[in-house]
Structure 1
């Protein structure tokens, strides 16, 4: 009851989410007969088969995305976690493999095999290719440049170390720009950067990347900056 969303496995079968009866129904194209059904918990919305709305689906797995989880997980307030269920659809009968809480029930979700992208994933940016105006490749390139009320700080980050790391001379009324380069050249060695009192989000810097944080001092004092990741 309550058919909501249908996707296909590329092998002659369709799979429809049933919102009212909380189940996935498998049916055969051409004869339109129901060949299998499996319960979901609860009130399934959309479902997803990798490539299931394309000409060539990868018809091995199906993810059911469920809207209601009363009595399933810890109560967390007015809105509870939603849930997803992973099914093996490679055989005649659907089999539940995994059941887990999620945030939200995505509409028209998509998935592809990891093998299509894993070898093309960017692991780090080469410092030699960084063309940012404030890129810094060595500690000797660090600088503090004042032009009127504007202060530009050229800084690098490596592991838990920033350079330059002792900055003086900023004044009330200044606008300070921290231009930070993560000089790591290794995969997944990111660094965060934040300044106490900044009314802007912290930075997350991928290896080889330069980004800028704006900070306006509002009172005299000592203000630490630190790695947040």
Structure 2
């Protein structure tokens, strides 16, 4: 990167202009930065395969963390691995995708690359830099968070051999992380209420609030400000 760190807002401006097809020469005139500096930042974003939308959505702190580590201290092997991380980050949000599957995909292309333990370590380090986690403090007995999982379970009828898909209800107490899980036939209101009742019997008490995610059985109309629950 450039020897002197420039303002993160200007870095966003550089990549926005470049994504709109503006030449590096014109970007240099607009920002007052040398073409060499502009090229270095553009190459950095290309290496991480970031789009203009993703860069625009990043906070200034997140963007600053991307540039915090001197790239010269990293091996070519690590730089290659890090180019995959933004893609892996998106894939891990999909149902059924695991770090081991992603490592296998990476290792098939780079057999001289990192083993899975090092892969996990460097991914955690990268995630801490670009995806800081907000810490919440919960009071004991205050909230019970409830939802259905995205992935269903399957059971086989021992008599007919018929396969039946089941929904999976999950709830967790915010303070203790004490978790209750139950499989049920559907996400309809009746099954949903039965699962909640079973969970409360399991916990042996009732929290101050039940906090559902945007599941159909609990939220009939989604809205940031006035959802219908």
- Same structural fold, with TM-score higher than 0.5 when normalized by the shorter chain: no
| Greater fraction of residues in strand | 1
Structure number with greater Rg is: 1
Give the TM-score taking structure 2 as reference length: 0.29
Q: Hey, which of these two has a bigger chunk of helix by percent?
A: 2
